[in-house]
Amino acid sequence: MPTQLIQVDAFTDKPYHGNPAAVCLLSKPMPDGWLRDVANEMNLSETAFLLAEKDQWRLRWFTPAVEVDLCGHATLASAHVLWELGKLRPDEPARFVTRSGLLTATKSGAWIELDLPADPPEEAEAPAELVEALGTPIVHTAQGKFDYLVEVESEAMVRDLAPDIRLLGELTTRGISVTAAATTNGHDFVSRFFAPGAGIDEDPVTGSAHCMLGPWWSARLGKDTMTAAQISARGGVVRVHVGPDRVRLGGQAVTVLRGELA
């Protein structure tokens, strides 16, 4: 049988916005080398590979360079595809077995909500390379399981940031999330995400980073439920609800391409 591949824009309700992910539906396990080759061919920030396992799905995520432990937008895209293709009923949750444990997604109208592990960051000293690469005043630096979180003074500073990508690539974390309280109406905080070490200079909308950003801003704003904007060139909106150990992320998704692998 041909291998289906669907490209989805996640965390947006408009085509060609949000974060694109390729979702590949496998009929059998495939070698890691083949998975890496497909992800490199897609050349997107993430390609998701799905394999049915009884009442759940094995889910793996690859950038063009590496396999990652957690990816929010490609999980959102995967759930969207399963409902769109009728692999799941609209009222049936998507259950994913991943390198980050069991993740679930539920559908509510046009929105999908992901249940992901929280990643509350700890205050940390900013490495010299990070300070030099960003070239902007830093209010706080913290570190989560995968990434650095850098808080700056204003939304405008996040928008205007033009970091030295080469220097950022020398850091040992997966990526760097630069964030500030929002001044745009309807949003609580904004961010941008850079991960050159994982083969992604700037990621358009990073679901997994909000597992860290959510607890950070919840503590500062005194709110459990927030709306976040990732203000990359493509842009996207993430609804964030912070619990004791989990973070629920809400987003929309749009299919932009359907095909088959040769």
Residues designated catalytic: 46
Q: CA-to-CA distance for 138 and 238, rounded, in angstroms?
A: 24
CA–CA distances in Å: residue 65 to residues 35, 44, 209: 11, 10, 19
Rg of the chain taking only CA atoms, in angstroms: 18
Size of the chain in residues: 262
Here the tokens at position 91 are 């009222």
Q: What sign results for the dihedral spanned by CA atoms 158, 160, 164, 166?
A: positive
CA angle 66, 70, 74 (to 5 degrees): 85
Q: CA-to-CA distance for 205 and 191, rounded, in angstroms?
A: 9
Q: CA-to-CA distance for 262 and 259, rounded, in angstroms?
A: 10
For the chain, how long is the longest CA-to-CA vector? 55
For residue 197, the 8-state DSSP code is G
Q: Pinpoint the alpha helices (H) of 70-113.
A: 72-84
Q: Pinpoint the alpha helices (H) of the chain.
A: 32-42, 72-84, 128-134, 155-160, 165-168, 210-221
